[in-house]
Amino acid sequence: MYNSKIAGLGFYVPENVVTNDDLSKVMDTNDEWIQERTGIKERRHVIKDTETTTSMGVEAAKKAIERAGIDKDEIDFIVFATLSPDYYFPGPGVLVQRDLQLKRTVGALDVRNQCSGFVYGISVADQYIKSGMYKNVLVIGSELHSRGLDMTTRGRGVSVIFGDGAGAAVLTREEDTSKGILSTHLHSEGQHAEELSLIAPGMGKRWVLDIIEDNDPDDTSYYPHMNGQFVFKNAVVRFSEVIMEGLTKNNLTPADIDMLIPHQANLRISQFIQNKFRLNDDQVFNNIMKYGNTTAASIPIALTEAWEAGKIKEGDLVVLAAFGSGFTWGSVIIRW
């Protein structure tokens, strides 16, 4: 059996910067209020009709493929994680295959696990490579939140948090099983599904035609809903559990961590986990201050930035961890 390793990384964010002060012009909020609760100073939003979830993913993928040192036609499979696809169907995986002009035989899988999507995607790619089925797998996390947010005072508790962007990784076969992805760990708890959700449009609840027919200005079912305090309390528990699960599986301890890349949901969550595991600032990478929560894109964006800054070196123990809607959560343990 093989291991898989991350051979190339890339990310892309729109040029349009939206600061907390910008948001204060369209809703009752302010920079101090947002930073105190989330740690976010600014985020990126696409300019309408110029970029899509797929196009951002493609730009991140191009960088990852180039840095992996392979030709795009050596990609055997695509895994695309997002909650904000271009279309209701088909998913963006096949659009990436088309826009990158990859060979027609390449498979494409779409992952709908929201904030945990990239971790789930890495786990899928890892298993395909370990089994020998594929050699090179492209994993993308991309989100376009800004078009679907309630940018009024009514929606400020959610809308100030999210930003747009994409990250990508190329996983490839590693002959040395002491290196690369050592293990992945995935979990879910559906009983809390509605605590962080977007109910409509959905075939089982409120479909587009229902929304149009009702034409109700007070209908918020097609905007994201988050029970913030409940999500926070569950996140800090599950983050801790799944990180320890991965470390224990590999006979490691928190002291062995060289770099923790947590999902960028809230700076306060990251700081709580850092303090609990007694990690210093050089052992944890956060960039939510600049980009907000980019859901499935947050880990690959942060991982790429950390690697570009020289904070991840060969032989380092790198831990990825995520928690989000579903609830779903997971971790990835990597020997770089």
Enter the tokens of residue 279: 């990690």
Residue pair 288/270 in contact by the 8 Å Cβ criterion: yes
Point out the catalytic residue in the list 263, 266, 286, 287: 263
Point out the catalytic residue in the list 3, 115, 136, 286: 115
Percentage, residues of the chain above pLDDT 90: 88
* Strand ranges, E, within 246-326: 259-262, 317-324
pLDDT in tens, 23-36: 999 999 999 999 99
Binned at pLDDT 50, 70 and 90, residue 135 comes out as: very high
Binned at pLDDT 50, 70 and 90, residue 45 comes out as: very high
Enter the tokens of residue 256: 């062995």
DSSP 157-187: HHHTTB--EEEEEEEEEES-TTSEEEEEEEE
Q: What is the pLDDT of residue 246?
A: 98
16 catalytic? Reply is no
Averaged confidence pLDDT in the chain:
95
Residue appearing with tokens 């034409």: 215
DSSP state of 87: S
115 catalytic? Reply is yes
pLDDT in tens, 47-56: 999 999 999 9
What distance in Å separates the CA atoms of residue 7 and residue 14, rounded to the nearest whole number?
Answer: 25
What distance in Å separates the CA atoms of residue 209 and residue 213, rounded to the nearest whole number?
Answer: 6
Range 3-177: architecture per CATH? 3-Layer(aba) Sandwich (3.40)
Helix ranges (H only) for the chain are 20-23, 31-38, 53-68, 92-99, 117-130, 156-159, 208-214, 228-249, 267-276, 288-291, 298-308
Tell me the three state secondary structure of residue 307: helix
Binned at pLDDT 50, 70 and 90, residue 104 comes out as: confident
pLDDT in tens, 261-294: 999 999 999 999 999 999 999 999 999 999 999 9
Q: What is the pLDDT of residue 24?
A: 97
Q: What is the pLDDT of residue 121?
A: 98
| pTM listed for this prediction | 0.96
Q: What is the pLDDT of residue 78?
A: 98
Tell me the three state secondary structure of residue 91: coil
Q: What is the pLDDT of residue 223?
A: 85
Mean pLDDT for 113-128 is 98
Binned at pLDDT 50, 70 and 90, residue 163 comes out as: very high
pLDDT exceeds cutoff 80 at 203: no
Point out which residues pair with 80 in neighbouring strands. 110, 140
- Residue extent(s) of CATH 3.40.47.10 domains in the chain: 3-177, 181-335
- Residue 272 has φ and ψ, to the nearest 5°, of -60, -45
CA 74 to chain centroid, in Å, comes to: 25
Binned at pLDDT 50, 70 and 90, residue 157 comes out as: very high
CATH classification of 181-335, choosing from 3.60.40.10, 1.10.287.610, 3.30.450.40, 3.40.47.10? 3.40.47.10
What distance in Å separates the CA atoms of residue 141 and residue 11, rounded to the nearest whole number?
Answer: 9
Binned at pLDDT 50, 70 and 90, residue 218 comes out as: confident
How many Cα atoms within 13 Å fall on the side-chain side of residue 131?
9
20 catalytic? Reply is no
Point out the catalytic residue in the list 234, 266, 287, 293: 293
What distance in Å separates the CA atoms of residue 236 and residue 257, rounded to the nearest whole number?
Answer: 18
pLDDT exceeds cutoff 90 at 75: yes
Residue pair 20/29 in contact by the 8 Å Cβ criterion: yes
What distance in Å separates the CA atoms of residue 35 and residue 89, rounded to the nearest whole number?
Answer: 36
pLDDT in tens, 181-201: 999 999 999 999 999 998 888
Q: What is the pLDDT of residue 261?
A: 98
The total number of residues written for the chain in this structure: 336
* Strand ranges, E, within the chain: 3-12, 17-19, 42-44, 77-81, 107-111, 136-143, 165-174, 180-188, 196-197, 225-226, 259-262, 317-324, 328-335
DSSP state of 97: H
Residue pair 259/283 in contact by the 8 Å Cβ criterion: yes
